[in-house]
Amino acid sequence: MFSGNGPFAWFKWEALFQDWRLFAKGFLYTIELSIFALLLALVIGVIVGICATSHSKVLRGIMRVFVEFFQNTPLLVQMFILYYGLPFLGVILSVTTIGIISVGVYHGAYIAEVVRSGIGSITKGQFEAAYSQGFTYWQAMRHIILPQAMKVIMPPLTMQAVNLIKNTSLIAIISGADIIFTAKSWSSTNIYYGPAYVTAGLLYFILCFPLTRAAKKMELRAQEGMGGAREQMA
């Protein structure tokens, strides 16, 4: 496999190591893209998640439509709509901006469900106690409900961050400079696909594995905390 002219021959790896700066650039671009998309997703997810638990049926309905639409249509289709549709409206955006918006909004819908579920895990008594102290709905959310819900929210939220990072690879289909696009463009010039895509996979693993481990640890801590609370109540 590593000798002769196989897909992972040593001379192909040597060629890749000589061009390591290209993959390093793609790695840094993917990190940058993921950070901005995640920030957008967090803003959208928190706002939509909170609104989805409001007392207004109209507001809850609008948020439900938003979440269902983006969860039940492929991210790639949403990306193509922005990439090919906006120019017809006279709006020209860079590939990076399109990637941030499409990935951010898509995962914002999933984070909204995470936030909504976290808020739903808090007993109504907490809301009633907040209202009795003169808090408004938004003040209760900020100072009482969300801080308590974070233990429930953080594990699935971290996994959404992992999925977001992996989904940035779709940007390679419309161009860009991420890890997958770098692997595709580099290997297309020399047909060294094996080392290129193995390296791309390892770079994504480096980004995602620590977050996955962190999510599992937070989930275990949350379960231990819930178990301790049940024992105290018993």
Tell me: the pLDDT tens digits for 146-196?
888 888 898 899 999 999 999 999 988 887 788 999 999 999 888 889 999
CATH value of 19-233 in 1.20.1370.20, 3.30.70.20, 3.90.1150.10, 1.10.3720.10: 1.10.3720.10
CA distance linking residue 59 with residue 76, whole number of Å: 28
What are the structure tokens assigned to 75, written together?
């991210």
What residue ranges do the domains of the chain occupy?
19-233
Query: Read out DSSP for 217-230?
Result: HHHHHHHHHHHHHH
Question: pTM for the full model?
Answer: 0.86
pLDDT of 226 reads: 53
How far CA 115 is from CA of 152, 181, 182, in Å, comes to 9, 33, 35
Low-confidence stretches of the chain (pLDDT < 50) are 229-234
Rounded to the nearest 5°, which phi and psi values hold at 162? -65, -45
